[in-house]
Amino acid sequence: MQSFGVDLDSTITHMNRHILIAGGGIAGMAAGYAVARAGWQATVFERAAEFSQVGAGVQLGPNVTRILQAWGLGDAFTQLAAFPPSLHARSLTTGEVLATLPLKDFAKRYGAPYATLHRADLHGLLMQAATRQGVQVQSNAAVKRVSQSLDAAMFEVTQQGQLLQHTATVAVAADGVWSPLRQQLLGDGLPNFTGHIAYRALLAQADLPPYLRSHDVSVWMGVHAHVVSYPVRGGEYLNVVCLAEGRLLDDDANHLQALQTWNAQKSEAQTLAELQHALRGACTPLIDLMAACSHWRLWPLCFRPAMQGAHQHAQGRVALLGDAAHPMLPYLAQGAGMAIEDAAELGAQLWTAPAANAPEHLQQFANARWQRNARVQARAKRNGRIFHVTGALGIGRDLGLRLMGAPLMDVPWLYGHSKS
Ligand SMILES: Cc1cc2nc3c(=O)[nH]c(=O)nc-3n(C[C@H](O)[C@H](O)[C@H](O)COP(=O)(O)OP(=O)(O)OC[C@H]3O[C@@H](n4cnc5c(N)ncnc54)[C@H](O)[C@@H]3O)c2cc1C
């Protein structure tokens, strides 16, 4: 077939309840699995040649583990995750525990546990489940263009040096925070760099002196910076992330390539100098913990304003999911969580949908999701401000935590959400 001004080898797949998904990250794999369970045939296109161990830890609240359980993945998940008994808010300078949220009773209170795990383990679990359910996963396949007609959605995909066209009932853009497909669908430009960088490292707990080992989540709050640590891989490793206001590269403002990666690196010396600056005045145990880390990886944090309407989640036969629709600052630990909630809602909406009515069901998906995602985006942004406040506001924050404790840290509207 000749189209789009290029040689086009047309691959028209059968049109009965078939969905094309751009991006094989957490959102894409979860969506593939959810719609395959709902009886749809799904094809996931991933730009990368292989699925590497990208990222580090993720925390998943009961709003998300509840979905994994409902999907029949609870046992496999339990093998991979850690289940921290407590979440401590600490002072970065003194190490004092300001307040503790008990997590071990979450299963009773919210019907599902609070868990922490390596992103690669979560991704592997979803990918295995998806492929077992019949989802086709094609790597080295970059989606270049999305388009739609009255009765079909189309992707142009670069695969094996060719530009192929794929056609199906509906399509999903789950191509991450820098989503090229979002630019085509919404035309609202690129996300912004926050000026915050996440420096992350993974430590084998066995290599740490006993006083630095931990099975809890700790958030150490300082001035313009905070550190989060929690166990992953069943507790064998400790995930350590320092989130600091800083610069990526000397010419970082225009250095889009450097921003668009999960795995940026600077020289060890430069990273250490930046961390020392960000964490000046930190208490000794935290300094010791940071000193035990090596092989730091950097994530520049990017954001968009909170979602403003359902049109940002679905346009006709095309839906946007995960970071492509609603990039999340990590200060509420819900980016992967909202991607999985999106996928669960999409699966639920498409469960009974005949192919002919798919756009209506995508609209219902969008209506059901956008306000919750907007609320989580806003809360994550607010948390970032609270974690980094200075002066009298910082003193007030610490006092509030000491006096109010757990109720200030719990988020019932978030964790109690029950869609599967
Ligand atoms: C420091 C930090 C800590 C975090 N901690 C947590 C946490 O504790 N809990 C939590 O829930 N979330 C957390 N997150 C957020 C979470 O990691 C992301 O929200 C989540 O990974 C988004 O998934 P996604 O699939 O939408 O995007 P991604 O994981 O970015 O996946 C997008 C995929 O699309 C592919 N792609 C891109 N363009 C194309 C194309 N044109 N064609 C085909 N494929 C394409 C990419 O290669 C990639 O594989 C954290 C994030 C950061 C930065």
Domains annotated for the chain, with CATH where assigned, are 2-190+304-415 (3.50.50.60)
> What does the alpha-carbon distance between residue 196 and residue 224 come to, in Å, rounded to a whole number?
9
> What does the alpha-carbon distance between residue 326 and residue 320 come to, in Å, rounded to a whole number?
9
CA terminus-to-terminus distance, the chain: 41
Q: State both tokens at 383.
A: 């948390």
Instruction: State pLDDT tens for residues 235-268.
Output: 999 999 999 987 665 555 545 555 566 556 667 7
With a 6 Å cutoff on the Cβ, whether 130 touches ligand 1 is no
Is residue 12 very low, low, confident or very high in pLDDT (cuts 50, 70, 90)?
A: very low
* Strand extents, DSSP E, 92-236: 97-102, 115-118, 136-138, 141-148, 153-159, 162-168, 170-173, 192-204, 217-221, 225-232
> What does the alpha-carbon distance between residue 211 and residue 310 come to, in Å, rounded to a whole number?
49
With a 6 Å cutoff on the Cβ, whether 28 touches ligand 1 is yes
With a 6 Å cutoff on the Cβ, whether 61 touches ligand 1 is no
pLDDT at site 9: 37
Residue nearest to atom 3 of ligand 1 (CA): 330
Atom of ligand 1 nearest to the CA of 322: 26
With a 6 Å cutoff on the Cβ, whether 241 touches ligand 1 is yes
pLDDT at site 250: 54
With a 6 Å cutoff on the Cβ, whether 113 touches ligand 1 is no
pLDDT at site 415: 97
Atom of ligand 1 nearest to the CA of 157: 42
**For 41-85, where are the alpha helices, taking DSSP H only?**
62-70, 74-80
Residue 274 host element (H or E): helix 268-278
With a 6 Å cutoff on the Cβ, whether 24 touches ligand 1 is yes
- Determine whether 361 is exposed, middle or buried from the number of CB atoms within 10 Å of its CB (0-12, 13-18, 19+): buried
With a 6 Å cutoff on the Cβ, whether 47 touches ligand 1 is yes
Query: pLDDT over 70 for what percent of the chain?
Result: 90
> What does the alpha-carbon distance between residue 116 and residue 347 come to, in Å, rounded to a whole number?
25
Atom of ligand 1 nearest to the CA of 45: 43
Nearest to 65 by CA among 29, 101, 112: 112
Is residue 420 very low, low, confident or very high in pLDDT (cuts 50, 70, 90)?
A: very low
Sort strands 237-245 and 192-204 into parallel, antiparallel or unpaired.
antiparallel
Instruction: State pLDDT tens for residues 93-110.
Output: 999 999 999 999 999 999
- Per the prediction, the chain carries an average pLDDT of 90
> What does the alpha-carbon distance between residue 94 and residue 181 come to, in Å, rounded to a whole number?
46
With a 6 Å cutoff on the Cβ, whether 83 touches ligand 1 is no
Instruction: State pLDDT tens for residues 328-387.
Output: 999 999 999 999 999 999 999 999 888 889 999 999 999 999 999 999 999 999 998 898
Dihedral sign from CA coordinates of 264, 269, 274, 276? positive
What is the CA(167)–ligand 1 centre distance, in A? 25
pLDDT average, residue stretch 36-49: 96
Least confident of 47-51, 278-282, 370-374: 47-51
What is the CA(178)–ligand 1 centre distance, in A? 10
What is the CA(276)–ligand 1 centre distance, in A? 28
What is the CA(27)–ligand 1 centre distance, in A? 7
With a 6 Å cutoff on the Cβ, whether 77 touches ligand 1 is no
pLDDT at site 248: 63
Atom of ligand 1 nearest to the CA of 26: 25
> What does the alpha-carbon distance between residue 195 and residue 377 come to, in Å, rounded to a whole number?
17
pTM listed for this prediction: 0.93
Q: State both tokens at 81.
A: 């995750």
What is the CA(62)–ligand 1 centre distance, in A? 20
Q: What is the 3-state secondary structure (H, E, C) of 177-210?
A: CCCHHHHHHHCCCCCEEEEEEEEEEEEEHHHCCH
Q: State both tokens at 280.
A: 């000046």
Task: Pick 346 or 273 by higher pLDDT.
Answer: 346
Is residue 6 very low, low, confident or very high in pLDDT (cuts 50, 70, 90)?
A: very low
Alpha-carbon separation of residue 397 from 28, 93, 165, 228, 282 (angstroms) = 38, 14, 55, 17, 18
Residue nearest to atom 27 of ligand 1 (CA): 176
What is the CA(335)–ligand 1 centre distance, in A? 8
Largest CA distance in the chain: 69
Which of 47, 197, 369 for mutating ligand 1's site (highest number of atoms within 8 Å of CB)? 47
